[in-house]
Structure 1
Amino acid sequence: MNPIFGALLPIFAVIGVGWGLRRSGLMPAEQWPAISRLAYVGLSPALLFSVISRADFDAITVAPAVAAAALGFIAMGALAIALKPLINTDGPAFTSIFQGSVRWNGLVILALATLSYGLSGEVLVSLIMVVTIPIVNVMAVTVLTIWGTSEKKPDVGAVLWRIISNPLILGCLAGGVANVFGWFQSGPIADVLALMGRAALPLILLAVGAALDFSALNARRHLLAISVTMKLIVAPFVFGAVAYAFGVRGDELAIVVLVGASPGAASAYVLAQQLGGDRRLTAGDVTASTLLSMITLPLAVWVATQIG
């Protein structure tokens, strides 16, 4: 069995459990936002702190892979804008296609990289998250500001503060500081943070499943097909080509391709709702890319391993 596919099975099984819990009513729909926020704000930063604070960076060379991932997101954003005249749709729908092309579910990929590549994969994806989250958010907000329909345009200062105060970024930065100074490498605080971190990924995966909206798959199917194709087929190729050009090989190349091939994130729906994007198209993209990535992720990584 392909090791990536083997690692995907438990991840998608947990996602399926989340969908089943919401669908059955055992966990009512109105409770899931609180669960998602707990995992995102409270537990995920603890996970990232724990991983980065204990990482042995002397044994890991990650700069080319992180740079390649960052450039990959920028390239996908530029490609989406270049294709806008050919897509020939309204502004809000284009913003959803753009977000579908550049947004990625970092915590799902973190879980997959951890299961497949161990600590080195966990550290690399964590570092890619802290570098690329600001880049992706700035691009998405800019495009929504230009082509969205919301009459309330975002305040630049508020957007910058939202990025700077992102819990995932803060967790990574705090972990980096602790790593440099040797703080919390062991002891009760390190144990508490590690225990909290272990609860993050299961809750995130359950929340991803609970957020799946199959009814949204009927929204503007031709545009949905474009968005999903950009994310699951074009993006892995772009990320892989950039990483290969940067000299990235082996497991690091496969991980950069994994990042490019990631399904969409629910944060795209929240931003579309706030800034005038096409919410239904975005919901459909997140659902379709999550489901189809079970097929495309192993294929993308297999191609990367054959090349690198």
Structure 2
Amino acid sequence: MNLVLTVLEIVAPVGLLGLVGFVWVRAGFEYRMEFITRLCMTLSVPALVFTALMKTEIDPAALTSVVFAAALAYGALTLAFWGLTAIMGLDRRTFLAPLIFGNTGNVGLPLALFAFGQTGLGYAVVVFAVMILWSFTFGVWIVAGGGSPARLLREPIMGATLLGGLFLWQGWQTPAWLTNSLDLIGQIAIPLMLITLGVAVARLNARRLGHALWLSALRSAICLGIALGAGLLFGLPPVALAVLILQVTTPVAVTSYMLAEKYGADAESVAGLVIASTLLSVITLPLTLAFLI
């Protein structure tokens, strides 16, 4: 019973805030997705990432192991899903990126924070940064048929990650007034991202949901196995291993749908994956957390 209550305490805020966004849109209220997304991605999330890294008390050697484990996990996922799309005859431009990249921002960061506290958030931010790096290079290249690594350098999240890593490495701290300001800015990121997730799901039009459901289930199993293997290979401590598994197994990111829409892939099929994997995560994420806790 205690385990059930613990998992419920972790998952409930995520589900309820997502539900707020879903109901808000279904009720006909206005929600400016472009403004909120830009606010989060250019200001609030970078502030969250920077302060989380700067204030973390995690051993830098452990963070380095997480970086390598996450890089190995995403590399292995790329190879696994490249082969899967070939075997199943799926359009690689449409399906490969959604299968690889989970919702490590909207879902992963809040869950890691609620489940494992500030330490968990520090590890989650590192996995999130590795995912962003691969997503904005290989991910964009595969969907768009081309992409420039220079695009990554223009992303505030990467600048915040590098700067936060430098502060962590050197043991530096910003002045208290600046740290408090950045904390306040960063604190709006998690609730806004969760509400935005609910809004996005409410606005998506899914196609072939049955196909998307079993493909999402297969994706979850592959992600779990690869994340567990990568974490064990690098000997990650228990919390770091749990966060890596949690992040890699998050449902398909809404940004995958946005990229498919932007670059002319089959956006409706990607929408189906987003909805199916998000629905499936209602079952898989609590089970995963119960196992990890």
The two structures share one fold, judged by TM-score above 0.5: yes
Counterpart-to-counterpart distance in 2, 1:231 and 1:136: 17
Superimposed CA distance per residue, residues 26-51 of structure 1 (whole angstroms, 9 cap, x where no aligned partner): 2x25x122112212221111111111
Superimposed CA distance per residue, residues 44-93 of structure 1 (whole angstroms, 9 cap, x where no aligned partner): 1111111111222447723223322221111111111112232124x3xx
Counterpart-to-counterpart distance in 2, 1:224 and 1:88: 15
Superimposed CA distance per residue, residues 106-126 of structure 1 (whole angstroms, 9 cap, x where no aligned partner): 222111111110111011111
Q: Which residue of 2 aligns with 1:20?
A: 23
Counterpart-to-counterpart distance in 1, 2:142 and 2:210: 21
Please identify runs of 4+ aligned residues in structure 1 that moved more than 6 A: none
Residue aligned with 1:56, SS: coil
Residue aligned with 1:25, SS: coil
Counterpart-to-counterpart distance in 2, 1:130 and 1:256: 12
Counterpart-to-counterpart distance in 1, 2:234 and 2:61: 16
Q: Which residue of 1 aligns with 2:259?
A: 271
Superimposed CA distance per residue, residues 123-167 of structure 1 (whole angstroms, 9 cap, x where no aligned partner): 11111222232123333233224xxxxxxx54x4xx312212222
Q: Which residue of 1 aligns with 2:141?
A: 142
Aligned-pair CA distance for 1:225: 3.0
1:176 to 157, 165, 171: 165
Counterpart-to-counterpart distance in 1, 2:137 and 2:163: 22
TM-score, with structure 2 as normaliser = 0.89
Q: Which moved more, 1:235-244 or 1:60-69?
A: 60-69
5+ unaligned residues in a row in structure 1: which ranges?
Answer: 146-152
| Aligned residue-pair number | 289
CA RMSD of aligned residues (A): 2.2
Alpha-carbon spacing, 1:95–1:230, altered in 2? closer, same or farther (3 Å): farther
Counterpart-to-counterpart distance in 2, 1:227 and 1:214: 22
Identity of aligned residues (%): 25
Contact kept? 1:235, 1:260, Cα under 8 Å: yes
Q: Which residue of 2 aligns with 1:46?
A: 47
Q: Show the 5 A alignment for 1:168-207.
A: 168-207=157-196
Contact kept? 1:231, 1:262, Cα under 8 Å: no
Residue aligned with 1:264, SS: coil
Alpha-carbon spacing, 1:193–1:214, altered in 2? closer, same or farther (3 Å): closer
